[in-house]
Amino acid sequence: MRDVDDPVPRVYNTYSRHELYNVRTLACRPTSDLIVRVRELGLCAVDPPQRRRRFYFTRYRGRRSGRRQRPVPSLRAVGNGVSIITGNRRQRSAVSSAADRRLLTSTHVPTLIRIHTDRHVSTTDTLTFGCINIRSISNKVDDLLQVRTDHSVDVVLLTETWHDKNSACFGRLRSEGFQIVDRPRPRLRDDVLSMNHGGVAVVAVSGVRLSQLDLGITPTTFEHVCVRMTTATSSSSCVVLLVYRPGSEAVTSTFFDELTDVLDRVATFIDPVYVAGDLNVRLDRPDDVTAVHLVQVLGDHGLACRVTSPTHDRGGLLDVVATRDDLPPPAVDVLDVGLSDHQLLRWSAPLNRPSPSYVKVISRPWRQLDQDAFRAAIVSSALCCPDRWRECNSIDELAQLYDDEVTATLDRLIPARSVTCRRRLCVHCTVRPISDVFGRWSERTVELIQPTPLQSLLPPMRGDLSAAPTVSYYNRSARSSGG
């Protein structure tokens, strides 16, 4: 190309668009004169990561995944005269199916070590109990709260509360966060102005959950309430039976019969059992008939009284705290707190939650058993082949043949597998013997179901049992059973 206005003819080079794009790339390094000129004009960029001056025509935005430079975008013709600018990212290898993705994942070797964490840990919580005959709680709420704070009592067992349903004093305690289970004495007439004597209640702090248990019996000689207490931290629990027998009434045989019936139901619980309350029986008199009978009833149910000192201002052991004799006995403190003429019984009980044990058992997926396939396999097995029966010389060999064929069939249809399961406690392995739970055998009548004799279940056979059975007998048995 030549400029006509220039007196000195000059020749200019002409570059196409594609050639200019090629010059823009860094595939070929510029000449030294060009580099010096660019630096003089201040157009040389500085590489921030390494802080070294390098020659760049334009500032680079950064590096992705460690790449210094991304590929140049390219044009892809679609066939109708139009081209599409394709991306400059690296094409990922497409995975055809989910099976291929699982194959790629399975080949990856993990570098982290899996640590087994136990969900159940053996924990121990300690609850402090207090039991007292308060003789009306209506005007002693503040004093009761002060006594609870001074002696660090978590659960207070109250007898002779003298309250009615929806009592205001218990409503105040509930508003302050206490858990309460109460049972007032039923009124015989609609005289709401008179004092309602009797009544029992259980008051616990907010960290203890109370659940009232229905024993299915309503005694007439004493008042009671049965509560299961569960701690919020470790979910450990125990069962408390609170009993009050009025001292104005004489001790009769009906009282012991009803108390025995209640203890029969309480003794079946797996949790630790505590029986407390005011029974108005002089346990400090070893020659008293009623005291001996009460100790005997408690002993028949595996319980023992843990109070050894008088619990009344005038003397006499009237209040009891009985626990199971197979557990460590708690130390019961008898304290004079000035709330009534009865003393406060205070004791602490550890609530242990043992860590569960895991065992491995062999089981089969019985729900996946195809009955038609199992029936067809048994029909085609040696159990339905009389020729195999003749090879057996005794009943033991026939039983072994039966076990082998059935086991082989089940292994083919539903193979046995090893399963790890948690062994749970049951009542039968934790309570006392049945003779101790239900009292003395001489005072009770237990109906036993006589088992069916084993001889009546066996087929009638003559001669020696070790002799080989006849084929006609098994053919006759198979035809009678529809086989």
The answer to whether 277 and 246 have CB atoms below 8 angstroms apart is: no
> Mind spelling out the 3-state secondary structure of 269-301?
CCCCEEEEEECCCCCCCCCCHHHHHHHHHHHHC
The answer to whether 385 and 443 have CB atoms below 8 angstroms apart is: no
The answer to whether 200 and 225 have CB atoms below 8 angstroms apart is: yes
3-state secondary structure of 241: strand
Rg (CA), the chain: 45
Query: Tokens 């057996």 label which residue?
Result: 392
Which is nearest to 396 in space by CA: 312, 469, 309, 301? 469
Nearest-angstrom CA–CA distance, 217 and 136: 26
| 253-266 helix and 289-300 helix, angle to the nearest 10 degrees | 20
Q: What's the CATH number for 123-353?
A: 3.60.10.10
Q: Where are the domains of the chain?
A: 1-65, 123-353, 357-423+449-480
Nearest-angstrom CA–CA distance, 267 and 315: 31
Query: Tokens 């190309």 label which residue?
Result: 1
Strands 273-278 and 237-244: parallel
Nearest-angstrom CA–CA distance, 262 and 275: 11
Q: What is the pLDDT along the chain (483 residues), one digit of tens a residue?
A: 455 555 656 666 777 777 766 666 555 667 778 777 777 776 665 555 444 444 444 444 555 555 555 666 777 776 666 777 666 565 555 545 555 555 555 555 666 666 655 555 556 788 999 999 999 998 999 999 999 999 999 999 999 999 988 889 999 999 999 999 999 998 877 766 677 889 999 999 998 999 999 999 999 999 999 999 998 776 788 999 999 999 989 999 999 999 999 999 998 888 899 999 999 999 999 899 999 999 999 999 999 999 999 999 998 999 999 999 888 899 999 999 999 999 999 999 988 766 667 788 888 999 899 999 999 999 999 888 888 888 888 888 888 989 999 999 999 999 998 888 876 654 433 334 444 434 433 333 333 334 444 344 344 444 443 444 444 555 555 555 554
Sort 297 into a burial class: Cβ within 10 Å, 0-12 / 13-18 / 19+. Answer: middle
DSSP 96-136: -SHHHHHHHHHTPPP-SPP----S---EEEEEEEEEEE-S-
The answer to whether 242 and 276 have CB atoms below 8 angstroms apart is: yes
* C-alpha distances in Å from residue 455, one per residue of 17, 127, 451, 452, 460: 108, 57, 12, 9, 9
CA angle, residues 121, 127, 130, in degrees to nearest 5? 165
Nearest-angstrom CA–CA distance, 98 and 105: 10
Indicate the Cα dihedral angle 295, 297, 301, 302, nearest 10°: 10
The answer to whether 332 and 347 have CB atoms below 8 angstroms apart is: yes
The answer to whether 335 and 344 have CB atoms below 8 angstroms apart is: yes
